[in-house]
Chain A
Amino acid sequence: MKKLYFFFLSLFLQSLIITTAAGQSPQSLTDSTAFQDFLIKQKEIQGLSVRFLIEKSDFTDSIPGDSIFRFAETSPGLLSSVEITQFGNFPKLLDTLSALDPTWEFLIFSQPSTFIATQEYVANLIRNGDIQELSKEIAPDKDLVLLASNFQYVPFFKYKLPFSSDYKLFIVVAIIAFFLISASVMILFMVIFKAKKNKKEQLMKDYEPLIAEALTAILFEKEIDEIKGLSEAEVLAIFPAGLLSRPLFQSVLIEKIIGLNKKMKGDFKDKLKALYQKLGLDKVSMANLHGKRWDKVATGLVQINEMDLIEALPEVKKHANSPNFHVRTQAIGTLLNLSEKMDLTFLKDQNYPLSSWQQMNYLRIIKFLYPQKELQMLSLFDSENQSVRLFGYKLVRLIGRVDLLENLEKSAINAPDDEKIEIIKTYADLGAYMQADFLNRCLLSENPKLQQAAAQAIGVIGNNESVPIIENLLKSQPDFPMKMILLKSLQKLDSNQFEKFTGIQTDIDTQRIKRHLLDPLLNHV
């Protein structure tokens, strides 16, 4: 230990000399103690090392930590340790060797160096910025606490949370959170929705036998007058208490009654209607007509239609021109079905075009009603709405109203081409031979669609004048599909003339078409 003190004392003295000599050395190198602290704090300095020296006579076989020092004889009687470059544990190493009374020397790039030279070397490194003084602490000129007290405290929010200051990471985590929350909410919603749906389905299943039992009992045990005469208490007693007021029960009940009504006839139908009204379900159907959702309104219309609730017709009429396609379709269907006075004149004033779907629905109802009442089909011909006019021409054909052909003829005069095509189809289907001249004129039209429709129809209702027109058209080199239609019509109109014509015209297409038309397997194609 004495040597250690001597080492630091010598450092101190030497540093005093350096300070005096250099004058500009850093504060930390001014004395040996400061230099020691400096070295210990720095832990390592590039190119600088120290080695321990002991007398050979002091050396024993069991030096503690010899594996670190690895003493070797470098000069007679003197042992040197290896170079130590880590100054952080310097005091500890000295303590280990204290019993051997070691001395040491500095080495710069493995060359022995004096303390002054070593100090100068370190000072240069600091000046050049090659090493930073880890021990350096700039002492304030004034007391910081006193200075701080002169300023009012303002919190600096920006770096309050390091997480939020990294905006990219923040965005990513926010998105993750969003996905997690959305997924959870969605799945939760779905699970609740499904649970509700399952519960609803189960309830509906439970209601069905109750309803079936009650309806069977009433329909088979009570007469219609008895049903009409049921008191409120009796009506409520039909089903278990409280059920009749539940919307789901009402809905199942309505469905059941409508289902039965579709299958039943005569008395049973009347009984079901009376019961429907007695149970107050007609009010439910009427209330549906005022619903905000289109499907609710359409459901009400279907119920009114199925249960023949004539008293609801004024309300139904309000929906006949609804902007919603489904509501409009159901309302018109209901009106046609239920109204005694209702005919097709109201369709004439429809603002919306009629789709094929609507036409299909109306056709079904009209076919059913046609034998029972006058539908004023003719009024459709005068509609401002082209789709309604076209539907009118179609109806003549589909219902077979030959008596309206005369009116159709009048309409055809000024009709646009696409209407003429529909009229021609009607003429052909009804076998209106008297319209052959009209078709002959259409055959010469410049509109290929009209020409094609006329060419197809002329095979059925053409006259003698049609044959030369067809032949002339065939000679004018029409395209293949048109040639096919014309030859087919010619064959139907006059097979002899067809043979004659195809015998003269020997072009490949004509001969192919001829073979096609004469092939019995293709007659229905």
Chain B
Amino acid sequence: MVLSALEMRDHRRKNRFADYQDIITSPIAPGVSILAPAYNEGESIVQNAQSLLSLHYGKFEVILINDGSKDDTLQKLIAAFQLEKTNYAYFSEIETKEVKGVYKSVNSSFSKLTVIDKENGGKADALNAGINLSEMEILACIDVDCILSPESITRMVRPFMEETNRKVIAVGGVIGIANNCDIQDGTVTKYRIPTSLLGRFQVIEYLRAFLMGRMAWSRINGLMLISGAFGFFKRDVVMAVGGYFPKTVGEDMELVVRMRRYMEERKIPYKVGFIPDPLCWTEVPESEEVLSRQRNRWMRGTIETLQLHKEIKMNPKYGVLGTVSYPFWNIFEKAGPLFEITGFIYTIILLIIGDFSAVYFFALLLMMYLLTLMVSSFSILYEQLSYNNYKDKKDLNRLILTILIEPFLVHPKVILWGLKGHIDFITGKGGWGNMIRKGFKKAEDRKNIVTQSQES
């Protein structure tokens, strides 16, 4: 909490002296390639592409990757943007599934837009195809259905331009929750909290994760995860490590860890930055079924990434990454559900054998509950002080109520979904079990691994 507060204070002080208008037109500002994979996004793809093309920045290109959609995603793009298939000499520097065509518009108003049509290979594979085609210095990897603020590029590019003694290899941003909010011209104009408990729970969870967790990690340069929905990366480093790894469901986290390993192994001073300003919004799942699948995937992604990079575990050679971030993720993110379910089973056993101490049980329960309340309430107050987006008092009251009931009504479900992720990993769901268990000896090992395109 202290670290995140300090980081936020510094960020807000720095913001006072930043003239973001300069970046838009300056020839010194780096170019940005926006990569947005799309799979069966026919309903909203045109609107999303238009929104991306209208971002306020001078030097940028938008690369949409149609990842073998079964709907009319490609046809809609062709019609809306007057696209034609080109003779683009696509070179698979990072190997991907087959690229069927590269499309450009005959209308010069859409000259910034490129569309790649390829065989379905998953998000990571689609992003790799986009990376191969990209020509700019910075890669902005986003989810195509995300709403980006017009200022998003200028704000996210700043850390890449500011550092002098360290190379900024990646910058993460906050993902805001757009459910139930009013949106106009790519910005949320009126914030409201979601109507469902699951939605409200995710608002609190996102505040905790982004405003507190990632800000604190950023303070000690220990960030291991940049959200796949909104992350900026230095292209040369991404290419050097071989792009995204398509064999894991946690491709966003895995790439950041591998890029960091690469820099640590070469002893190049580097930084992974984080911008807490609200610049990107997405709709979060409010149905239990979809949310459980998402959490299951996140858990498997975490386990797979930690497994792939077990070489760095408690290894002082990897600095903060190996000695702080990795153990933290291993204990609290990966093993958290295991600890909690073990505690639950142990309590049941104590009850059965009659060795149960009600005093200790309730004391510990109270302790954990208070800790949760403390952290959650801090994150809300923190948001109120920093951005004050949820202005309606009723919204605030409902958030506070959610804080009070969430540990009993939602948290147990999250634990169970996490456990299901563990089970799915152990039973080898996804089919990459053996290879992932073996792990990478070096960051660049990824380049030597035969991936989907060669196997299929």
Contact = CB atoms under 8 A, between A and B. Distances in A.
Interface in B156-214: 158, 160-165
Contact of A176 (B26, B114, B158, B366): B366
A179 B377 CA distance: 12
Given A360-B26, A515-B87, A179 B371 contact: yes
A484 interface: yes
B104 interface: yes
Contacts of B23: 360
A356 B87 contact: no
A180 B114 contact: no
A518 B104 contact: no
Contact of B164 (A176, A325, A326, A394): A325
A353 B161 contact: no
A505 interface: no
A364 B91 contact: no
B14 A176 contact: no
Interface string B18-38: 010011001111100000000
Contacts of B30: 356
Contacts of A173: 363
B16 interface: yes
A354 interface: yes
A485 to B, nearest CB: 12
Contacts of A168: 360
Interface stretch (B227-235, B277-285, B378-386, B407-415): B378-386
A112 B373 CA distance: 70
Contacts of B19: 361
Contacts of A294: 13
B27 A398 contact: yes
B374 interface: yes
Interface in A259-307: 294-295, 298-299, 302
Interface size class of A (residues with CB under 8 A): 35 or more
A73 B63 CA distance: 107
Nearest to B105: A521
Nearest to A182: B374
A294 B23 CA distance: 23
Contacts of A509: 89
A68 interface: no
Nearest to B13: A295
Q: Which of the listed residues A299, A516, A521 has the most CB atoms from chain B within 10 Å of its own CB?
A: A521
A360 B29 contact: yes
B268 interface: no
A363 interface: yes
A398 to B, nearest CB: 6
Contact of A525 (B29, B135, B161): B135
Contacts, number: 125
Given A179-B370, A183-B370, A525 B88 contact: yes
B26 A353 contact: no
Contacts of B359: 169
Interface in B263-287: none
B104 A354 contact: no
A197 interface: yes
Interface in B1-17: 1, 13-14, 16-17
B86 interface: yes
B367 interface: yes
A193 interface: yes
A511 to B, nearest CB: 9
B28 A360 contact: yes
B385 A197 contact: yes
A238 B163 CA distance: 46
Nearest to A328: B164
Interface string A332-360: 00000000000000000000111111011
A145 interface: no
Interface in A510-525: 512-513, 515-516, 518-519, 521-522, 524-525
A127 B168 CA distance: 85
A107 to B, nearest CB: 36
Contact of A521 (B14, B16, B22, B106): B106
Nearest to A197: B385
B401 interface: no
A190 interface: yes
A194 B360 contact: no
B93 interface: yes
A444 to B, nearest CB: 24
B245 to A, nearest CB: 22
A525 B104 contact: yes
A361 B86 CA distance: 39
Contact of B367 (A179, A302, A360, A398): A179
Nearest to A193: B385
B435 interface: no
B164 A353 contact: yes
Contacts of A480: 91, 93
Interface in B81-133: 84, 86-89, 91, 93, 104, 106, 111, 114
A330 B16 CA distance: 12
Contacts of B26: 360, 363-364
A183 to B, nearest CB: 4
B86 A522 contact: yes
Given A299-B16, A357-B158, A190 B27 contact: no
Interface in A357-387: 357, 359-361, 363-364, 387
B364 interface: yes
Interface string B406-426: 000000000000000000000
A352 to B, nearest CB: 6
B87 A519 contact: yes
A353 B29 CA distance: 17
A187 interface: yes
B275 to A, nearest CB: 14
A513 B89 contact: yes
B370 A180 contact: yes
Contact of A364 (B13, B22, B84, B158): B22
A481 interface: yes
B70 to A, nearest CB: 27
B251 to A, nearest CB: 24
B358 to A, nearest CB: 12
Interface in A483-525: 484, 509, 512-513, 515-516, 518-519, 521-522, 524-525
A177 to B, nearest CB: 10
Nearest to A186: B378
A22 interface: no
B164 A352 contact: yes
Q: Which of the listed residues A169, A175, A298, A329 has the most CB atoms from chain B within 10 Å of its own CB?
A: A175
B87 A357 contact: no
Contacts of A354: 164
A519 B86 contact: yes
B17 A298 contact: yes
B172 to A, nearest CB: 19
Nearest to B29: A360
Given A180-B370, A356-B29, A190 B161 contact: no
A515 B164 CA distance: 42
B302 to A, nearest CB: 27
Q: Which of the listed residues B89, B135, B364 has the most CB atoms from chain A within 10 Å of its own CB?
A: B89
Contacts of A302: 17
Contacts of A326: 14, 17
Given A326-B17, A519-B88, 13 more contacts: A172-B360, A183-B378, A294-B13, A330-B17, A355-B162, A356-B29, A356-B160, A359-B28, A481-B91, A513-B89, A518-B87, A522-B88, A525-B88
7 contacts: A183-B378, A186-B374, A298-B17, A325-B164, A509-B89, A521-B86, A521-B104
Interface of A: 168-169, 172-173, 175-176, 179-180, 182-183, 186-187, 190-191, 193-194, 197, 294-295, 298-299, 302, 325-326, 329-330, 352-357, 359-361, 363-364, 387, 394, 398, 480-481, 484, 509, 512-513, 515-516, 518-519, 521-522, 524-525
Instruction: Please list the 10 inter-chain residue pairs (A to B) with the smallest Cβ-Cβ separation, ordered nearest first.
Output: A516-B89, A515-B87, A356-B161, A183-B374, A190-B381, A357-B161, A512-B89, A519-B87, A353-B164, A295-B13
